[in-house]
Amino acid sequence: MTYKTLLYEKADGIAKVTLNRPEALNALNSTVYTELYDVFEAIENDADARVVVLTGSGEKAFAAGSDVVEMQHMNTLEIQQFVAVIRKASDRIYSLTKPTIAAINGYALGGGCELSMCCDLRICSEKARFGQPEINLGLIPGACGTQRLARIIGMAKAKELIYLGDMIKADEALRLGLVNKVVPPESLMDEAMEWAKKLASKSSPVLAMAKMAIQTGIDTDIASGLNIEARCVALCFATEDQKEGMKAFLEKREAKFKNR
């Protein structure tokens, strides 16, 4: 697959998607979002792609935000259409049935921070910087920041970041739970790929059940969430991998999952 603003490669069950506008600090314009939707839609339907790593090209930025050059002259109708394009891509990434890892190698600001939050796991370089600076442009976040950020780090801290528009460093992002792990810059992709390899060794349908239970249940009451969990556990027992996993455990050997 070839794209104007993305790089795509796949090996050993791991799909790697790279935002590729380094001259613009990987700023997110309508072409990027359209191509992100297309590539994640293709990944969803590719049985050979079991895990996704999303990163940015260059050392300076994962994505420095949505492209202000494109946005500055938009009217109300045009910005609504742009936000719809963003929402379509963001929802496609968030709802992917396969695990996703954001490898964040610099600035993740505005739309870049929001894009990273669409992934299941986030690992970042010590040089990474996060923020929702839209308030400084006379805007509010429009790519899930007011919703997903509060769900990840809590309402009070989300309001602080959105209202003040300040950047935070990697160690603060880790403390808040915005990222899962912080590593030296030179180790970022190696660490992300190690996580991806470990995930690729698991059962794809069972991982999909885990993701469904967590993401569907989080927005319901506890009783409804537990009902969702129970159904997903039962569905695991419809897979060959569940039988192999338990058999391997009893035989004291490593399971060999077939992703079915």
| Catalytic residue numbers, as ranges | 114, 134
Distance CA 103, CA 192 (A): 6
- Of 84, 130, 78, the residue nearest 107 (C-alpha): 130
C-alpha separations of 113 from 2, 109, 179, 208, 246 in Å = 25, 5, 11, 24, 39
Distance CA 63, CA 114 (A): 10
Instruction: Measure CA of the first residue to CA of the last residue in the chain; give whole Å.
Output: 26
The answer to whether the CB of 256 falls within 8 A of the CB of 240 is no
The answer to whether the CB of 106 falls within 8 A of the CB of 82 is no
- Judged on CB neighbours under 10 Å (0-12, 13-18, 19+), 113 is buried
Provide the token pair at 28.
Answer: 């997110």
C-alpha separations of 2 from 28, 126, 219 in Å = 18, 31, 36
